Amino acid sequence: MEIRFAKEDELDRINELRKQVNDIHVEGKPDVFKPGFGAELQKFIHEIWNDPDKKIIVADNGEEICGFAVINHINKPENPFMKERDFLDVDEFCVDKEFRRQGIASELVSFIKAYGKEQGFHRIELNMWEFNQGALAFYEAAGFETYRRYMEMFV
């Protein structure tokens, strides 16, 4: 398995994986996420590709891309309430459903962590949806810890 930065001609395959994530989100939170994976969502991968603060990482098994992550450099300046925050955000993350539970996600996280350290970051963050308990179990096993929660109430 090779973990590396994506090539532009791999964006269509990455979109196939992004659709898997979108389908999970639509099923888990249909009041928030739009069904389908239309042209607008498909084109968005090119905005990610062209953003200098974002990088796309892929897991390549030699035959196909079987996982990916999008990382985003975020800098939040100091304000009266908080110190400056400069970190890597894992914005998207997926391993193809046909390749899960083979250590690919762990390899992606290790690559992100090594890249973050090499770039001088001291923090990697991600957010996830509470309904995705499988993802939560993986992220916790990979070393992520919950430090903030978003809660909702319907009226």
- Summarize pLDDT for 85-121 with one digit per residue, the tens: 999 999 999 999 999 999 999 999 999 999 999 999 9
Q: What percent of the chain has pLDDT over 70?
A: 100
Answer whether residue 38 shows pLDDT above 90.
no
- Summarize pLDDT for 111-127 with one digit per residue, the tens: 999 999 999 999 999 99
- Average pLDDT value for residue range 2-12: 96
Q: What is the pLDDT of residue 57?
A: 98
Across the chain, mean pLDDT equals: 95
Contact 45, 15 (CB under 8 A): yes
Phi/psi region, residue 28 (left: phi>0; alpha: psi -120 to 50; beta: rest), is: alpha
Between the two ends of the chain, the Cα-to-Cα distance in Å is 48
2-141 adopts what CATH topology? Aminopeptidase (3.40.630)
Amino acid of residue 138: F
Question: What tokens appear for 39 in the block?
Answer: 């042209």
Question: What tokens appear for 126 in the block?
Answer: 């991600």
Domain ranges of the chain: 2-141
Question: What tokens appear for 67 in the block?
Answer: 């996982």
Q: How far is C-alpha 88 from the geometric centre of its chain's CA atoms?
A: 11
Which of 115, 114, 140, 106 has the alpha carbon at shortest distance from 126? Answer: 140
